[in-house]
Amino acid sequence: MFNFKPKHILQSLLLVMALGSTVLSAATDDAFKVGFVYVGPVSDYGWTYRHDVGRKAIEAEFGDKVTTTFVESVDEGADAERVLRKLAQDGHDLIFTTSFGYMNATVKVAKSFPDVKFEHATGYKRAENVSTYSARFYEGRAVLGTIAGMMTETNTIGYIASFPIPEVVRGINATAIAMRKVNPDAQIKVVWVNTWYDPAKEADAAKTLIDQGADIVMQHTDSPAPLQVAEERGVLGFGQASDMKTFAPKAQLQTIIDDWNGYYVDRTRAAMEGSWESVDTWQGIKEGMVGFGDYNTVISDDVKAAAEIVRSGIVGGTIHPFQGPIRNQSGEEVVAEGNVLSDEVLLGMDYYVEGIVGSLPK
Amino acid sequence: MMRLYKRSQPSKFWIYAAPLLAVVLTFLSGLLLFALVGVSVPDAVYAFFVEPLSDRYALAELGVKAAPLIMIGVALSVGFRAGVWNIGAEGQLIVGAIAGSAVALKFYEVDAIWVLPLMCAAGVAGGMFWAAIPALLRSVTNASEILTSLMLTYVAALLLSYMVHGPMRDPDGFNFPESRLFHDAATLPLLLDGTRLHVGFAAALIIVLVVWIFMSRTMAGFSLLVAGAAPRAGVFAGFGKHRAVWFSLLFAGGVAGLAGLFEVAGPIGQLLPGISPGYGFSAIIVAFVGRLHPVGAMFAGLLLAWSYLGGEAAQISLNLPVAVTNVFQGLLLFYLLAADVLILYRFTPEVVTPASGSLNTDTVS
């Protein structure tokens, strides 16, 4: 029979523990503590990696006055609440939860720790001590969609999507609208992989799309795997969330770079100075939350100029990625000429626009 | 030169000493690992082993994390002893959670005492239904339940995805893929106030006891053991092979379904696209580390839960990357299973002669 009792190890460890606890108590107590909860590993070189860059920006800005902590690959189910509670209990003053699935756990734990400030990325539930923040990534997609529409030769763009939530659907639609403006014959084929981070699955999806004729692949998942496949197969692609040039120097045409640094530093400063308030932040290219990398040298000057017009138009407010006329898949006009979609509609987007092949999983 | 010889019977000493040896070896390897990544060893030991047990809330969390592992691990060990390889408990867990959630959402506004029991019944039924498919395929077409039960896990995950994106989606949730939060009447009672320790942990302990009595004291339990150990003898004795298949799969499926329901009605409180970090798969490890014995599986479930919580604590207090904590957990499981070789085999020093290797057919190289 199994005779393994936790108690036994405990006893044998008492000595080591005594030593350990003295070392622990030597840690500085007066530093402002900022915690981060990540859905993937920091080495995903995409979504989580960029949040971690933001965490390091806080350290660089405030030096000894802050200590930061992160917990990576935290499951979005029952585990999130425990991790959050532990961070709060361990004296963290400000906690960033960087995935949609942490929403209810964040709100729940925030209730038990009214003195701790929480910041939840991409959700919609706020409280006195819970802010929400996200970036208008769809603005970046409009720039990429312009490039893709002008550069595709097969008129087929492959799109690897994670989950059919409004955020992802919005990205696909923004790409399609921009693409069709410069190339009315181009189409987007979508593969849903039902994961944020699974390099093998993402790579398989990229192969499938390339086999179906896509000569440009885009992804709304977190690893560079699709881009690496594009590089291998000699087709083109885009980086996602960070600059992935080193993974695919030939294939990466351009990339969206999530830049949380400014926001994280500002919010940490506000919390340290006592001016922190619960807000909802949704910033885009103009504020610098959505950034870009260098244009690949294979991009012609025409294409680059067209992309820059879209980018500067969005910054200047003359171009909106969801500007009418917009038609849905069956050709009905859903936004009339001269109108733009409101933030409210964008936040709940659940249909495809014209130019996307297949139907949206419901 | 050391050689391994099969013992004539399992060693009484090593049955008890092997797990302890494994812990010591893990510990020593851990010291090396922590030294390599530049973390103070006492701090690491404290974070891994003591923090998860350091206060009332932490202990309650150990129970929350261990409950599904114990329940499913114990249930799977019954089937594994009968030679029925149900690898798809994860899928059965998911379908049980979906079925139970359907009840919770159907009676969303109903504040009645029967809602929760009905949810539990639906959870069990859902898990059993999902396990009945590989049982049927096995008994009718002789299809391997290893493959069918595993593949049905992926089907279950997609079914869950469909449900939270479609029929069971929160109508006020901006199209985000999750159900409404369950009402109080559809949420598990807690065992300890101020924690998340729910009645599911008590249920897990009851299941351990019931399975223990069943396997060691009843004829039906004995017939399952015979069916696993000597299938032909079992058939001659009148214990049909199909009966073992059906019983093992339905039992584990029902328990896994209940465990899934406990997750959504307990710590999570709603149906999400991801409700289990692979409890159904980890439970296979639990069953084997527990030597396919219910009490062993209980300790193994607690141990595994302990190591998960230790891993989290090490990340938070030492900023260790998750990869290091995963390696440490892997070391523990590796040594636990590897040390078992000492129960059935003994190491003997041997004078090497050129021919000895080929003559000893009973050696393991």
CATH code: domain of residue B114? 1.10.3470
Q: Report the mean per-residue pLDDT for chain A.
A: 90
SS3 A118: strand
- For residue B133 the two structure tokens come to 């498919």
Any idea where the domains of chain A sit in the sequence?
29-135, 137-257+290-357
pLDDT value of position B176: 81
- Range in B9-13, B76-80, B172-176, B337-341 with the lowest mean pLDDT: B172-176
Residue of A10, A55, A82 to mutate when probing chain B, most B C-beta within 10 A: A82
Instruction: Summarize pLDDT for A322-341 with one digit per residue, the tens.
Output: 998 999 998 899 999 989 99
pLDDT value of position B354: 56
Give a yes or no: residue B58 inside a domain.
no
Instruction: Summarize pLDDT for A36-61 with one digit per residue, the tens.
Output: 999 999 988 889 999 999 999 999 99
Reply yes or no on whether the pLDDT at B242 is more than 60. Answer: yes
- Whether residues B182 and B292 share a domain: the answer is yes
Is B257:B92 a contact under the CB 8 Å cutoff?
A: yes
Identify which has the larger pLDDT, B233 or A126: A126
Cβ contact (<8 Å) for A4 and B174? no
Cα separation, A179 vs A188, in Å, equals 9
- Whether residues B196 and B270 share a domain: the answer is yes
Is A89:A56 a contact under the CB 8 Å cutoff?
A: no
Reply yes or no on whether the pLDDT at B351 is more than 80. Answer: no
- For residues A297-317, give the mean pLDDT: 96
Is B61:A109 a contact under the CB 8 Å cutoff?
A: no
Residue B193 sits at the chain A interface (C-beta within 8 Å):
no
- Whether residues B115 and B207 share a domain: the answer is yes
Minimal Cα–Cα distance from B227 to chain A, Å?
A: 21
Instruction: Name the one residue in this structure whose structure tokens are 């595994």.
Output: B304
pLDDT value of position A112: 92
Give a yes or no: residue B48 inside a domain.
no
Please compute, for residue B73, the number of CA atoms within 13 A of its CA located in the half-sphere on the CB side: 34
SS3 B6: strand
Give a yes or no: residue B159 inside a domain.
yes
- Which pLDDT band, with edges at 50, 70 and 90, does B1 fall under? low
Residue B334 sits at the chain A interface (C-beta within 8 Å):
no
- For residues B103-107, give the mean pLDDT: 95
Q: What is the DSSP string of B194-257?
A: TS--BHHHHHHHHHHHHHHHHHHH-HHHHHHHHHHH-HHHHHHTT--HHHHHHHHHHHHHHHHH
- Whether residues B195 and B291 share a domain: the answer is yes
Q: What is the DSSP string of A29-57?
A: SSSEEEEEE-SS-GGGSSHHHHHHHHHHH
pLDDT value of position A208: 97
- Whether residues B191 and B78 share a domain: the answer is yes
Reply yes or no on whether the pLDDT at B272 is more than 70. Answer: yes
- For residues B50-71, give the mean pLDDT: 93
- Whether residues B288 and B353 share a domain: the answer is no
Cβ burial A320-330 (10 Å sphere, 16+ → b, else e):
ebbbeebbebe
Residue B267 sits at the chain A interface (C-beta within 8 Å):
yes
Give a yes or no: residue B53 inside a domain.
no
- Which pLDDT band, with edges at 50, 70 and 90, does B364 fall under? very low
Residue type, A77: G
Total domains in the fold of chain B: 2
Cα separation, B121 vs B362, in Å, equals 51
- Whether residues B202 and B244 share a domain: the answer is yes
- Asked whether the ipTM of the predicted complex exceeds the cut of 0.90, the reply is no
pLDDT value of position B42: 84
Give a yes or no: residue B29 inside a domain.
yes
What are the phi and psi torsion angles at B87 (to 5°)? Answer: -95, -5
Q: Is B175 left (phi over 0), alpha (psi -120 to 50) or beta?
A: left
pLDDT value of position A196: 87
Chain B hits for A17, Cβ within 8 Å: 42, 45-46, 50
Residue B49 sits at the chain A interface (C-beta within 8 Å):
yes
Of all residues in chain B, the percent with pLDDT exceeding 70 is: 94
- For residue A29 the two structure tokens come to 């107590």
Chain B hits for A83, Cβ within 8 Å: 312, 316
pLDDT value of position B352: 58
Of all residues in chain B, the percent with pLDDT exceeding 90 is: 53
- Whether residues B80 and B229 share a domain: the answer is yes
- For residue A75 the two structure tokens come to 């499951």
Reply yes or no on whether the pLDDT at A27 is more than 50. Answer: no
Structural domain that includes position B153: 66-320
- For residues B8-32, give the mean pLDDT: 86
Residue B138 sits at the chain A interface (C-beta within 8 Å):
no
Reply yes or no on whether the pLDDT at A166 is more than 60. Answer: yes
Cβ contact (<8 Å) for B42 and A23? yes
pLDDT value of position B353: 58
Give a yes or no: residue B355 inside a domain.
yes
Residues 6+ positions from A69 with CB-CB distance below 8 Å: A33, A34, A35, A36, A87, A90, A92, B315, B316, B317, B319
pLDDT value of position A290: 97
Residue B139 sits at the chain A interface (C-beta within 8 Å):
no
Instruction: Summarize pLDDT for A188-204 with one digit per residue, the tens.
Output: 999 999 888 899 999 99
Identify which has the larger pLDDT, B360 or B121: B121
Reply yes or no on whether the pLDDT at A9 is more than 70. Answer: no
Minimal Cα–Cα distance from A161 to chain B, Å?
A: 14
User: Which of B306, B297, B298 is CA-nearest to residue B325?
Assistant: B306
HEC-encoded secondary structure of A229-249: HHHHHCCEEEECCCCCCCCCC
- For residues A133-141, give the mean pLDDT: 96
- For residues A288-307, give the mean pLDDT: 96
- Whether residues B104 and B75 share a domain: the answer is yes
pLDDT value of position B219: 83
pLDDT value of position A161: 95
- Which pLDDT band, with edges at 50, 70 and 90, does A362 fall under? low
Instruction: Summarize pLDDT for B137-148 with one digit per residue, the tens.
Output: 999 999 999 999
pLDDT value of position A10: 41
pTM of the model: 0.84
Q: Quick one: fold of A29-135?
A: Rossmann fold (3.40.50)
SS3 A313: helix
| A137-257+290-357 matches A29-135 in CATH topology | yes
Residue B139 sits at the vertex; the CA angle it makes with B136 and B142, to the nearest 5 degrees, is 110
Reply yes or no on whether the pLDDT at B11 is more than 80. Answer: yes
- Whether residues B139 and B265 share a domain: the answer is yes
Of all residues in chain A, the percent with pLDDT exceeding 70 is: 92
- Whether residues B185 and B222 share a domain: the answer is yes
- Whether residues B86 and B230 share a domain: the answer is yes
Q: Report the mean per-residue pLDDT for chain B.
A: 89
Cβ contact (<8 Å) for A24 and B272? no
- Which pLDDT band, with edges at 50, 70 and 90, does B228 fall under? confident
pLDDT value of position A14: 40
Minimal Cα–Cα distance from A235 to chain B, Å?
A: 30
CA distances from B92 to A13, B21, B148 (A): 39, 35, 12
CATH architecture assignment, domain A137-257+290-357: 3-Layer(aba) Sandwich (3.40)
User: Which of B179, B82, B210 is CA-nearest to residue B138?
Assistant: B82
- For residues A257-270, give the mean pLDDT: 97
pLDDT value of position B363: 46
